[in-house]
Chains A and B, each alone.
Chain A
């Protein structure tokens, strides 16, 4: 993780890595997402902020099919997520096809969700050996590299219960990276951490952004958005209220709801 060059700002002529178009989501009668349009270019760091219940986590979960969308389309790398379109009709993908789509998308959860019965190293090699059928030795080598990258090579043989929250989250990032995804989703990765542990996790994410990883980050860390984000999207009530350059929006929000939210979190 030594990439120093600032990643390029999205180029409109290139097809976006993630294309979210007209997405709606209902939970029963509850209309959580009300027509979301959003694009993320390859190498872009897209930060989503908003009050709780604004639908930002739900949107993230729709991208790797932890939730199914009720209307609209999500494409990742030109591939329609969750469905196959044929003869003007959508067909559900099989569980195998869904699993294949998810392999390309890494996800980091608010509550880490490490596998507690496995050591840090076993957590990281689980998917490469079980899903990609890599040899244990090769997966281990790569896993130790990743654990080193997140600063935890000396914690490889520790169980999650033996690690602090910040260390667990960094193992979780290494676990997602072990599948060599082209896109990383972060669902409030620092919200469950003690304040003094947040910095290390953000540092790892910053390094990852510098290396050119495409990232969508739902967070309350405005500082991270300003420093690392290429675009900032403010969501409220299931719609995108405002989107653009993070520094511009934070310094000079156009919409009164954005202003109000920022005044409360800054």
Chain B
């Protein structure tokens, strides 16, 4: 047998294009090194500054807590949207309409001002006697306002993502589970949601990375401890805005990269049984191994006559 060894078609245009791109990359790299206005020594000085590191902690806290709040709300909103109770469906729809339809900046300013609107929070019988009351300011601190503001806004977007995920699961799954005597809530948590997660995780990862950067808007409340606000403050003090923008950008990129790694593993978990299915079992139990002399291999599975021919 003579293997084909053909001469490939030449693509001179690709070489010209690549040469241009490399030229511009080299120019940009050279300017990064030679342009004194980048103030790299200032970048180095503030990259691990205590104030900056603390602000990263606050930014992470805001991202994680507001996303957690949004995910819990979104699950309920998505379930309510499928409810047989029309009031639940309307409320879910109206929630999404409102929180998606107004700017997150406006909502954050509102949560910062909520103690002006409602100076006291009163616990008691509706339209009846009051048991306790609190000053709103002591409950809705800037941190709480930031988390609630970001979380409620995000819940509207996530609710639509979750709804799409739930709708992506074949109706036969619900029927099969119900036919086995499973209650609807159990079917949702054990059968439908785990399958929907495959569709839900990628856009939710997108939203989480978006949220990381949306936290920079909390100055609207005002909440003044996050990464963007702190690096801006340092920049204003030192009159060196560019190196501190670089400091903030570096940290946002680092956190985004870590989130992407986490997303990879979550996607892998919820893709089991569907994505990248290989023709070997994930793990063989003792019983399965006993039934089979050796673990099944691609060979004896694809060969139909050995698997389908015999009668049980």
Chain A positions within 8 Å of B, measured between CB atoms, are 1, 64, 66, 95-96, 99-100, 102-103, 105-107, 109, 111, 113-119, 121, 126-127, 130-131, 140, 144, 148-162, 164, 166-167, 170, 172, 175-176, 179, 196-197, 199-200, 203-204, 207
Q: Are the C-beta atoms of A156 and B273 separated by less than 8 Å?
A: no
CB <8 Å contact, A130 and B190: yes
Asked if B180 and A102 sit within 8 Å, CB to CB, the answer is yes
Bound CA span A102–B311, Å: 30
Bound complex: CA A245 to CA B270 (Å): 50
Question: Can you name 25 A-B residue pairings with CB atoms under 8 Å?
Answer: A66-B178, A102-B178, A103-B181, A107-B179, A109-B172, A109-B175, A111-B172, A113-B173, A114-B176, A117-B194, A118-B273, A119-B282, A140-B287, A150-B312, A151-B311, A156-B285, A157-B281, A157-B285, A159-B282, A170-B312, A175-B180, A179-B181, A196-B308, A200-B308, A204-B312
Q: Which residues of B contact A130 (CB under 8 A)?
A: 182, 186, 190
Residues of chain A with a CB closer than 8 A to B170's CB: 113
Given contacts A99-B181, A117-B270, A164-B308, 11 further A-B contacts (CB under 8 A): A66-B175, A99-B178, A99-B182, A113-B170, A113-B172, A113-B176, A116-B195, A116-B274, A126-B190, A144-B287, A161-B274
| B10 in the interface (beta carbon within 8 A) | no
Of A127, A131, A166, which is within 8 A of B308 by CB? A166
Q: Shortest distance in angstroms between B127's beta carbon and chain A's nearest beta carbon? A: 33
Q: Are the CB atoms of B180 and A154 closer together than 8 Å? A: no
User: Shortest distance in angstroms between A187's beta carbon and chain B's nearest beta carbon?
Assistant: 10
| Distance in Å: Cβ of B306 to nearest Cβ of chain A | 10
A81 to B285 Cα, complex, angstroms = 40
A151 to chain B, nearest CB (A): 3
Cβ of B273: which chain A residues have Cβ within 8 Å of it?
116-119, 159-161
Q: Which one of A66, A114, A167 lies within 8 Å of B307 (CB-CB)? A: A167
Q: Which of B104-112, B211-219, B244-252, B288-296 contacts A (4 or more CB under 8 A)?
A: B288-296
Contact assessment for A162 and B277 in the assembled complex, using a CB-CB cutoff below 8 Å? yes
Contact B180 A126, beta carbon cutoff 8 Å: yes
Chain A residue at smallest Cβ distance from B283: A157
Determine the chain A residues whose CB is within 8 A of the CB of B307 once the complex forms.
Answer: 164, 167
- Contacting residues, chain B, for A1 (C-beta < 8 A): 312
Give B248 Cβ to nearest chain A Cβ, in Å: 40
B288 touching A117 by the CB < 8 A rule? no
Closest to A107 in B: B179
Asked if A151 and B172 make an inter-chain contact with CB atoms under 8 angstroms apart, the answer reads no
Q: How far is the CA of A63 from the CA of B271 in the complex (A)?
A: 35
CB distance from B65 to the nearest CB of A (A): 29
| A176 & B274 in contact (Cβ 8 Å cutoff) | no
Once the chains are docked, how many angstroms separate the CA of A203 from the CA of B194? 34
B114 part of interface (Cβ distance < 8 Å):
no
Chain B residue at smallest Cβ distance from A104: B181
Residues of chain A lying within 8 A (CB to CB) of residue B194: 117
**Range of interface residues on chain B?**
35 or more
Report the minimum CB–CB distance from B267 to chain A (whole Å): 13
Report the nearest A residue to B172, measured CB to CB. A113
- Determine whether the beta carbon of A157 is less than 8 Å from that of B284: yes
Interface residue? B167 (CB, 8 A): no
- Which B residues touch A100, using CB under 8 A? 181
Chain A residues, Cβ within 8 Å of B176 = 107, 109, 113-115, 172
Q: Which of B183, B186, B272, B308 contacts A117 (CB 8 A)?
A: B272
B191 at the interface (CB under 8 A from A): yes
Contacting pair A176 B180 (CB below 8 A): yes
Smallest CB separation, A197 vs chain B (Å): 6
Tell me, rounded to whole Å, the shortest Cβ–Cβ distance linking A82 to chain B: 13
A161 touches B277 (CB 8 A): yes
Partner of A153, one of B277, B283, B291, B308: B291
In Å, the complex CA distance between A109 and B281 comes to 25
Q: How far is the CB of B272 from chain A (nearest CB, A)?
A: 6
A117 to B285 alpha-carbon distance, docked (Å): 18
Residue on B nearest A167 in the bound complex, by CB: B307
Closest chain A residue, CB of each to CB of B301: A162
A203 to B179, Cβ gap below 8 A?
A: no
User: Which of B181, B195, B274 sits near A131, CB closer than 8 Å?
Assistant: B181
Given the contacts A103-B181, A130-B186, A151 and B310 also touching, CB distance less than 8 Å: yes
Most chain A CB within a 10 A radius of its CB, from B191, B194, B285, B308: B308
Given A102-B178, A113-B173, is A203 in contact with B284 using a C-beta cutoff of 8 Å? no
B292 contact set on A, CB distance < 8 A = 154
Shortest C-beta distance, B292 to chain A (Å), equals 4
Whether A207 pairs with B312 at a CB distance below 8 angstroms is yes
CB distance from A181 to the nearest CB of B (A): 9
Give CA–CA (A176, B178) in the complex, Å.
Answer: 11
The answer to whether B311 touches A127, judged by C-beta atoms less than 8 angstroms apart, is no
**Which residues of B lie under 8 Å from residue A96 when comparing CB positions?**
183
Report the minimum CB–CB distance from B140 to chain A (whole Å): 39
Give bound CA distance, A216 to B285, whole Å. Answer: 34
A157 in contact with B288 given A103-B181, A109-B176, A200-B308 (CB within 8 Å): yes
